[in-house]
């Protein structure tokens, strides 16, 4: 909770749901009549059938729109929801902030009758992202420390019932998560953008300053554009974001 109380104040501005990512999540939940959104934040990606949201940070809850599902301030490890209360439980870009991933996933499985859907990322893919590889290795270390291994999540959900969907990042992604601006590098110099990304907010600024100065210089002299001309022709990029769909019954 303390993390988002300190860094989540700009989420409603910089972390708007991207409709293409939302469509993938919605397809995974299309036949669920009731959904619990765990680690719900400001309400991004909540489908219309969401009946309850659980979020530990009051700062995040305060940014939820008035039309959003009712929110309860609580943690994933101790959900105030009855067993088998909803068709599906979802968790979008949140498991890396849980204090006990095994307990949190077991709670998702407890409250959901049919399905658990988790959006996360594979740090072994993300570590090759130009931002962390070339400019901000310290942020890459933060990202790797935060990330929950995909294999761990699959094991906790049950290997025989999990499907994994790759979610490429559109070049004009609306949601300002870590890899969103891969084709818009100037955005990573914006302090408001940085504030809503864990890899920036949880890395000491002193360890980022040199890399950001290098990025600023390379953008100004054209070195970045020359080095990354190939990705500037791409419309989407695989940076390791994955949707895990666990069918329970």
Per-residue HEC secondary structure of the chain comes to CHHHHHHCCCHHHHECCCHHHHHHHHHHCCCCCCEEEECCCCCCCCCCCEEEEECCCHHHHCCCCCCCCCEECCCHHHCCCCCCCEEEEEEECCHHHCCCHHHHHHHHHHHEEEEEEEEEECHHHHCCCHHHHHHCHHHHHHHHHHCCCHHHHHHHHCHHHEEEEECCEECCCCECCCCCCCCCHHHHHCHHHHHCCHHHHCCCHHHCHHHHHHHHHHHHHCHHHHHCCCHHHCCEECCCEEEEEEECC
Q: Between the CA of residue 69 and those of 63, 178, 193, 240, what are the distances in Å?
A: 12, 26, 26, 29
> What is the model's pLDDT at position 225?
97
Per-residue pLDDT of the chain (249 residues; tens, 9 = 90+): 444 444 444 555 667 899 999 999 999 999 999 999 999 998 889 999 999 999 999 988 988 889 999 999 999 999 999 999 999 999 999 999 999 999 999 999 999 999 999 999 999 999 999 999 999 999 999 999 999 999 999 999 999 999 999 999 999 999 999 999 999 999 999 998 998 888 998 999 999 999 999 999 999 999 999 999 999 999 999 999 999 999 997
Q: What is the pLDDT of residue 15?
A: 72
Q: Which domains does the chain have, with CATH numbers?
A: 2-247 (3.40.50.150)
pLDDT attached to residue 16: 85
187 exposure class (CB count in 10 Å sphere: 0-12, 13-18, 19+): middle
The predicted structure's pLDDT at residue 12: 53
pLDDT number for residue 6: 46
- pTM equals 0.91
């Amino acid at each position: 909770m303390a993390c988002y109380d300190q860094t989540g104040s700009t989420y409603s501005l910089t972390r708007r749901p991207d409709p293409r990512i939302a469509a993938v999540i919605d397809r995974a939940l299309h036949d669920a009549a009731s959904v619990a959104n765990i680690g719900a934040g400001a309400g991004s990606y909540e489908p219309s059938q969401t009946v309850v949201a659980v979020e530990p940070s009051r700062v995040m809850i305060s940014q939820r729109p008035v039309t959003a599902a009712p929110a309860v301030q609580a943690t994933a490890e101790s959900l105030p929801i009855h067993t088998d209360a909803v068709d599906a439980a979802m968790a979008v870009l949140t498991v890396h902030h849980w204090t006990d991933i095994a307990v949190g996933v077991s709670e998702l499985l407890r409250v959901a009758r049919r399905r658990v859907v988790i959006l996360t990322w594979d740090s072994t893919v993300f570590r090759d992202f130009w931002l962390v590889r070339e400019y901000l290795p310290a942020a890459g270390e933060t990202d790797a420390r935060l990330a929950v291994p995909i294999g761990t999540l699959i094991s906790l959900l049950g290997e025989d019932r999990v499907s994994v969907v790759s979610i490429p990042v559109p070049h004009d992604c609306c949601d300002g998560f870590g890899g969103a601006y891969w084709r818009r590098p100037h955005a990573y110099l914006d302090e408001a953008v940085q504030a809503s990304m864990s890899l920036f907010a949880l890395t000491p600024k002193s360890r980022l300053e040199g890399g950001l100065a290098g990025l600023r210089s390379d953008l100004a002299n054209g070195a970045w554009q020359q080095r990354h001309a190939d990705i500037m022709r791409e419309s989407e990029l695989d940076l390791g974001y994955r949707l895990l769909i666990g069918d329970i019954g």
